Amino acid sequence: MADTTVPEFFERFPMTRVVNADLDGDLATDDNRIAILFLWGRDCPNCDIAKRQILLTSERFVWPEVRWLHDNVYDDPTMGTRFGLHGIPAFFLFPRGKKLGRITAWPGTQPFVDAVNKQIAVTGASA
């Protein structure tokens, strides 16, 4: 069964698609923002919940200090292996190209926003 939410989601909330082979190069192009890598999979109920909640209040997930990346780990399993995933969705934060931490599972809108805001404050990221 095709995941019909994926094209709509990425049209309405743009993220740059990245694959494992290109991630290091992308992260090396540091622009002083935090990169959030969203690892997801098609037909993943928890991924769909995260996508729907992001779309409900998309303005809460846009920060000048953040750029979004995404990868479907079912199509790119080496990315899942690289990060030792045991479940999706997973969100990894990279300030200045270095892995800071991850948010696994979907904690909900407010806890996610709070965690990102805290990292923006701690890292001093800027647009």
CATH architecture for the domain at 5-123? 3-Layer(aba) Sandwich (3.40)
- Residue whose tokens read 């090396």: 28
Q: What is the pLDDT of residue 127?
A: 61
Alpha helices in the chain (DSSP H): 5-12, 20-28, 45-56, 77-82, 109-123
Structure tokens that stand for 55 in this block: 């779309």
pLDDT score at 30: 73
109-123 and 45-56 are packed helices; what angle lies between their axes, rounded to 10 degrees? Answer: 70
- Which residues of the chain are modeled with pLDDT < 70? 1-7, 125-127
CA 62 to chain centre: 12
pLDDT digits (tens, 9 = 90+) for 96-115: 889 998 999 899 999 999 99
Answer whether 39's CB lies under 8 Å from 88's CB.
Answer: yes
The three-class DSSP label of residue 71 is strand
- At 52, phi and psi to the nearest 5? -65, -40
